[in-house]
């Protein structure tokens, strides 16, 4: 990317009359909701970092780019109005060239109480795309060439992505419809089971269903990237085996480092890589903890990166921080049931002490902008080569997308 983005100051829905055409809410500060943090570097390291940012394409495999209310408890009402703002200002200050945006996902309760309904998903997607159609900074990304163009032009390629496929119900053609509406990545399940397979919250994982196999085949045919970040282990293994194309675990970590259903065992990580897939490391609050680092921060997150890199190789690891613009911890409190947070935590099967220090935010990874600064800075500070940084920050993702999207 260019260190200077071509952003002209557009704000979401500015083509409408605020508080006349739609209800407004005071929104979180996109850049300084909390005190910003940057990994300290020497002058020489700073120069190298700037050069890497200019040369290489940086891809985040999983984020949420909506801006949440400053009072996070207002989010349910904000969501019901079905018009989430996009963090154009925050993104313009980031180093990302391409970001996979997972929209409202589990909190998409515009027309229903439980979310994940077809009407909810299409409302959210259509409203966000209408907003994007009125600006020229974010490029609606449909192919790899859009990412490269965004990099060259100082813009950002926006990829529409959804974490679970519950909304397709038993209609495999809805995959085609989502693709036609511009979606380019789709999860098999969120934490709950659906017609395709079992989510990570289930005590028993029966694996990919017969309909799930049909859905995988259709996603391969249309060129939809398959994500298994929230699937049960057997469902993920079945999907990897059944898919003709490699898959992504867009936002996950290593269960060997911390016992949690949100993290993957070595068997799953290795199977994903063996098929050519990419594993993006997760940073949502209180996920990628480790037995040695019980306060969730950048170093704990990067310990998962280094473990996965050592296990499967640098060619199969990247970053999907799963961050957002607003109070992420507060959002978890408001939507604990919708997001299946209790079931995602460690089960205590190993008997190890899982006590950890609660944090109000993950220092160094508070939002997509801060994460884009600090991940590359951490890699530079820890002596990673240019080649390895290029692969981890976006090269591996580009290779995967060329194979899946065509």
Q: How many CB atoms lie within 10 A of CB 373?
A: 20
Q: Residue 381 and residue 86: Cα distance in Å, rounded? A: 32
The CATH number of 54-405, from 3.10.20.310, 3.40.50.800, 3.20.20.140, 3.90.380.10, is 3.20.20.140
Q: Greatest CA span in the chain, whole angstroms?
A: 57
pLDDT of res. 347: 56
- Could you list the pLDDT tens digit for every one of the 406 residues in the chain? 567 899 999 999 999 999 999 999 999 999 999 999 999 999 999 999 999 999 999 999 999 999 999 999 999 999 999 999 999 999 999 999 999 999 999 899 999 988 899 999 999 999 999 999 999 999 999 999 999 999 999 999 999 999 999 999 999 999 999 999 999 999 999 999 999 999 999 989 999 999 999 999 999 999 999 999 999 999 999 999 999 999 999 999 999 999 999 999 999 999 999 999 999 999 999 999 999 999 999 999 999 999 999 999 999 999 999 999 999 999 999 998 666 656 666 655 666 888 999 999 999 999 999 999 999 999 999 999 999 999 999 999 999 999 999 9
Contacts of 152 (CB under 8 A, 6+ apart): none
pLDDT at residue number 206: 95
Residues in the chain: 406
Q: Which pLDDT belongs to residue 63?
A: 98
- What is d(CA 205, CA 200) in angstroms, rounded to the nearest whole number? 8
Q: How far is CA 88 from the centre of its chain?
A: 17
Which of 381, 383, 368 is CA-nearest to residue 101? Answer: 368
Sign of CA dihedral 166, 171, 174, 175: positive
Element (H, E) at 226: strand 225-227
Q: Is 98 helix (H, G, I), strand (E, B) or coil?
A: strand
Distance of CA 143 to the CA centre of its chain: 18
Q: In b/e form, how buried is each residue of 191-221, taking b as 16+ CB within 10 angstroms?
A: bbbbbbbbbbbbeebebbbebbbbbbebbee
Reference 240, options 225, 250, 228; nearest CA is 228
Give the C-alpha separation, 214 to 244, whole Å. 12
Alpha-carbon span 66 to 328, nearest angstrom: 12
- The pair of structure tokens assigned to 159 is 């990829």
The distance from CA 303 to its chain's CA centroid, rounded to whole angstroms, is 19
Query: What's the pTM value of the predicted model, to 2 decimals?
Result: 0.96
Domain ranges (residues) in the chain: 54-405
* The two three-digit tokens of residue 107, written as one number: 């909190």
């Amino acid at each position: 990317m260019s260190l200077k983005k071509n952003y002209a100051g557009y704000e979401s829905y500015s083509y409408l009359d605020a508080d006349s055409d739609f209800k407004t809410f005071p929104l979180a500060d996109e850049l300084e909701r909390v005190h910003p943090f940057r990994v300290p570097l020497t002058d020489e390291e700073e120069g190298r970092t700037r050069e890497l940012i200019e040369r290489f394409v940086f891809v985040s495999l999983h984020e949420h780019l909506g801006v949440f209310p400053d009072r996070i408890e207002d989010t349910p009402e904000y969501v019901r109005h079905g018009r989430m703002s996009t963090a154009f200002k925050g993104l313009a200050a980031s180093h990302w060239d391409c970001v996979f945006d997972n929209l409202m996902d589990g909190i998409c309760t515009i027309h229903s109480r439980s979310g994940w309904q077809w009407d909810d998903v299409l409302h959210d997607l259509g409203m966000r795309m209408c907003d994007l159609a009125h600006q020229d900074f974010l490029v609606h990304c449909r192919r790899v060439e859009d990412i490269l163009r965004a990099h060259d032009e100082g813009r950002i390629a926006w990829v529409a992505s959804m974490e679970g496929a519950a909304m397709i119900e038993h209609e495999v053609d809805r995959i085609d419809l989502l693709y036609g509406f511009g979606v380019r990545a789709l999860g098999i399940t969120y934490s709950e089971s659906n017609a395709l397979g079992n989510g990570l919250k289930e005590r028993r994982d029966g694996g990919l269903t017969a309909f799930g196999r049909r859905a995988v085949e259709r996603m391969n045919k249309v060129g939809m990237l398959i994500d298994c970040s929230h699937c049960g282990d057997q469902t993920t293994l079945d999907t990897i085996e059944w898919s003709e194309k490699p898959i992504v675990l867009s936002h996950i970590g290593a269960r060997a480092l911390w016992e949690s259903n949100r993290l993957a065992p070595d068997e799953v990580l290795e199977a994903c890589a063996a098929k050519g897939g990419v594993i993006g490391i997760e940073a949502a609050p209180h996920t990628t903890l480790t037995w040695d680092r019980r306060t969730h921060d950048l170093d704990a997150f990067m310990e998962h990166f280094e473990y996965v890199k050592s296990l499967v190789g640098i060619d199969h690891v990247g970053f999907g921080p799963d961050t957002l613009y607003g109070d992420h911890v507060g959002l978890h409190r408001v939507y604990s049931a919708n997001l299946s947070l209790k079931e995602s935590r460690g089960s205590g099967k190993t008997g190890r002490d899982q006590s950890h220090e609660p944090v109000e935010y993950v220092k160094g990874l508070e939002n997509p902008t801060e994460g884009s600064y600090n991940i590359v800075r951490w890699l530079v500070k820890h002596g990673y080569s240019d080649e390895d940084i290029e692969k981890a920050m976006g090269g591996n993702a580009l290779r995967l997308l060329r194979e899946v999207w065509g």
